[in-house]
Structure 1
Amino acid sequence: MVWLGPPLLLPIVFLASHVGAASDLTLLADLRRTEPQRFFLTCVSGEAGAGRGTDAWGPALQLEKDDRIVRTPRPWPPPQLARNGSQRITLRGFSRPSDLVGVFSCVGGAGARRTSVLYVHNSPGAHLLPDQVTHTVNKGDTAVLSARVSKEKQTDVIWKSNGSYFYTLDRHEAQDGRFLLRLPNVQPSSSGIYSATYLEASPLGSAFFRLIVRGCGAGRWGPGCTKECPGCLHGGVCHDQDGECVCPPGFTGTRCEQACREGRFGQSCQEQCPSTGGCRGLTFCLPDPYGCSCGSGWRGSQCQEACAPGHFGADCRLQCQCQNGGTCDRFSGCVCPSGWHGVYCEKSGLSDWAHGSASTEMHDTDEGYFGGHVSAVAAPG
């Protein structure tokens, strides 16, 4: 790790994130941001072949701070980097909240499966804060970044893209206490780190965002975007290069159709959240084009709020519409009584289930962003 100089924003051409097929790599961040000594970042690899052969993950697993856009003072004492075998590495021991501001990366894999998972951390005391840090959109979509005013200043707001000047908003252009940057017809080249900063204010007081633009329009993938996505469920995102579903934390399966047990994550639900509160207070960053979100059943800027009744999944984006006595579990969706199944517990008997026709439409508040069909199958109760 390299920690350099005073706070400074620098231009950057490109932040590499993904090459080849989706990999089982997760960057967890503890969001107890007012207690920097308790903050930690953990990089976890669930690749079955880790430590074996030329494609071994173990030797290549890295966790570091990317100082190309946001440089912060060198922390003292420096954070501790701890390794637990070849598939897990943790960074902890920050001394001040300002040490946490910036871009962190978890890197693993070799060759075609080399993957970098990015996490962006904002200062809790910033003048401007992002309503949502990670935005995943499709090629040709309109992306809207929203910076909420936390500490008002009587100056204009400068937007930057990858550290370079992008746009200025007059201080009177705030809408309901928010400065909005609207990006129509985004392309993959629009991807990167965006920031909103009051004029002449410290960059550490900025709202930092990460924009991920899939290389295809909604529901499409492959060369020329001619192939149809499989229909990623429960908020999963269709990868634009290989058509695989990158599943939200807490779901698994080729279409993210199955819910993990509470507190578990990973492509095979093999990992468990490290705290007694389950996944409360943790954010999960996955390979692009998914980005970051709270774990299933949690929402909020620090992932400490349980889903409201009737909502479930990562960031509580999904809605239950349970029928026939089904109840909504905030981690997995509708839990059906005996004799009923289906997304809404709307099906009885076994004939249609046996023929695999349990799929039906469900409501996803980010359906336009995920490049897959908005549908789901029943998750295990």
Structure 2
Amino acid sequence: MVFRVPPFLLPILFLASHVGAAVDLTLLASLRLTDPQRFFLTCVSGEAGAERGSDAWGPPLLLEKDDRIVRAPPGPPLRLVRNGSHQVTMRGFSRPADLVGVFSCVGGAGARRTRVIYVHNSFGAHLLPDKVTHTVNKGDTAVLSARIHKHKQTDVIWKSNGSYFNTLDWQEAEDGRFLLPFPNVQPPSSGIYSATYLDASPLGSAFFRLIVRDCGAGRWGPSCTKECPSCLHGGVCHDHDGDCVCPPGFTGTRCEQACREGRFGQSCQEQCPGISGCQGLTFCLPDPYGCSCGSGWKGSQCQEACAPGHFGADCRLQCQCQNGGTCDRFSGCVCPSGWHGVHCEKSGWGDWASNPMRGMSAPVGAPG
């Protein structure tokens, strides 16, 4: 196994100036359909003033495909449909090759201008990622795992931001997977990675995005001296401003409250399109969160409901309900009267009324 130091990151992929709370910006990718002509990407801004025109929001939302790393054959131009300054949708994909690669949405004004990134893999690729987005802390061990979908007795080339990084012999696969470990990973290792059979098309690669926070676990700030809040329900502490970036379907300063089913955004103000709610949608949020399925869904196409006892984005969370609480796959423990808390472990209405974490079992957000 041969390693090389990753090249410098491409500026277009990692524009990220964060001042204050993270920008309320979501990039939605529809995975319900394999027909590329019906595939769409939508960028939605929930920033205050975003719906009152470009003067309030500043520069308009930008939604684009980045061909610097993954270049598909030229095709018809993609169509952009705008809904004021609040939303922009990209359509017009004519073939599966158009979908593969890196897409981004840019929103916010001035120092808050932020880029949200989405990486799309071909469902028919030779290698597929077990997980596309990996968010880790400085000093952690990260492992990228490429699952064999179509076996070939050929070496596998790993690339970082489009440049050669590592080679694995085809016999080094473990349990049908090629693994790329990063012990003691550092922020310069962040980027877009791919695993490809040596003689295969790059469009058949497994593509990943590795996000390395600038601080160790539980810390944030210029010198990483400040302590992160306890972000709940899979929220990620922002390494620059200390705020919790909440998974889709949760809100609050610590991501303590669940939105109503089918809602997302920092104030649960947005509603998933279609009659099937957020099924089949990938949600990408500002770094260091990255991308995931919506709350209550999992799988490579976000089509699978959580198994009993599990909930949240990608169904990564497990209910541990007490005192008669029941597990809801979208919001977690639903507590009976007189009980509250993450696990329904707290009783007493007086304590509940004065507790800033109250209402965790009561989803917020107006019904659609």
Shared fold by TM > 0.5? yes
For residues 92 and 9 of structure 2, the distance between their equivalents in structure 1, rounded to whole angstroms, comes to 28
Q: Please give the secondary structure, in 2, of the residue aligned with 1:13.
A: coil
Q: Does 1:378 align with 2:360?
A: yes
Q: Please give the secondary structure, in 1, of the residue aligned with 2:166.
A: strand
Quote the offset at 1:60 in angstroms.
Answer: 2.5
**1:131-146 counterparts in 2 under 5 A?**
131-146=130-145
For residues 79 and 354 of structure 2, the distance between their equivalents in structure 1, rounded to whole angstroms, comes to 53
1:197-250 deviation line (CA, Å, top 9, x unaligned): 001211001000000000000000001100000111110010000001110000
Is contact 2:296-2:329 (8 Å) kept?
yes
1:358/1:40 CA distance change after superposition, 3 Å: closer
Q: CA RMSD of the aligned region, Å?
A: 1.9
For residues 32 and 127 of structure 2, the distance between their equivalents in structure 1, rounded to whole angstroms, comes to 19
1:14-71 deviation line (CA, Å, top 9, x unaligned): 4224211310000000013521111100010111032679984364310000011011
1:277-330 deviation line (CA, Å, top 9, x unaligned): 000000000000000000000000000000000000001111111122211000
Quote the offset at 1:149 in angstroms.
Answer: 0.3
Q: Which residue matches 1:60?
A: 60
Q: Please give the secondary structure, in 1, of the residue aligned with 2:74.
A: coil
Is contact 1:11-1:163 (8 Å) kept?
no
Q: Which residue matches 1:153?
A: 152
For residues 17 and 182 of structure 1, the distance between their equivalents in structure 2, rounded to whole angstroms, comes to 26
Q: Which amino acid aligns with 2:64?
A: E
Q: Which amino acid aligns with 2:112?
A: R
Quote the offset at 1:354 in angstroms.
Answer: 3.9
Q: Does 1:44 align with 2:26?
A: no
Q: Which residue matches 1:287?
A: 286
Q: Which amino acid aligns with 1:43?
A: C
Q: Which amino acid aligns with 2:243?
A: E
1:357/1:56 CA distance change after superposition, 3 Å: closer
Is contact 1:51-1:58 (8 Å) kept?
no
Q: Which residue matches 1:199?
A: 198
**1:1-381 counterparts in 2 under 5 A?**
13-14=10-11, 15-21=13-19, 22-32=22-32, 34-50=34-50, 56-57=56-57, 59-76=59-76, 78-356=77-355, 378-380=360-362
1:347/1:18 CA distance change after superposition, 3 Å: same
1:26/1:221 CA distance change after superposition, 3 Å: same
Q: Which residue matches 1:371?
A: none
Point out the more displaced range, 231-240 or 335-344.
Answer: 335-344
For residues 60 and 317 of structure 1, the distance between their equivalents in structure 2, rounded to whole angstroms, comes to 34
Provide the TM-score with structure 1 as the length reference.
0.89
Is contact 2:65-2:103 (8 Å) kept?
yes
1:88-116 deviation line (CA, Å, top 9, x unaligned): 00011211111100000001112111000
Q: Which amino acid aligns with 1:13?
A: L
Q: Please give the secondary structure, in 1, of the residue aligned with 2:320.
A: coil
Is contact 2:53-2:85 (8 Å) kept?
no
Q: Please give the secondary structure, in 1, of the residue aligned with 2:267.
A: coil
1:116-140 deviation line (CA, Å, top 9, x unaligned): 0000000111100000000000001
Provide the TM-score with structure 2 as the length reference.
0.92
Quote the offset at 1:75 in angstroms.
Answer: 2.1
Q: Tell me, which stretches of 5 or more residues in structure 2 are unaligned?
A: 1-6, 364-368
1:35/1:54 CA distance change after superposition, 3 Å: closer
Q: Tell me, which stretches of 5 or more residues in structure 1 are unaligned?
A: 1-9, 360-376
Is contact 1:79-1:92 (8 Å) kept?
yes
For residues 28 and 46 of structure 2, the distance between their equivalents in structure 1, rounded to whole angstroms, comes to 13
Q: Which amino acid aligns with 1:209?
A: F
1:62/1:13 CA distance change after superposition, 3 Å: closer
For residues 311 and 249 of structure 1, the distance between their equivalents in structure 2, rounded to whole angstroms, comes to 16
For residues 8 and 266 of structure 2, the distance between their equivalents in structure 1, rounded to whole angstroms, comes to 35
Point out the more displaced range, 149-158 or 30-39.
Answer: 30-39
Is contact 1:11-1:68 (8 Å) kept?
no
For residues 40 and 53 of structure 1, the distance between their equivalents in structure 2, rounded to whole angstroms, comes to 24
Quote the offset at 1:263 in angstroms.
Answer: 0.2
1:54/1:93 CA distance change after superposition, 3 Å: closer
Identity of counterpart residues, as a percentage?
81
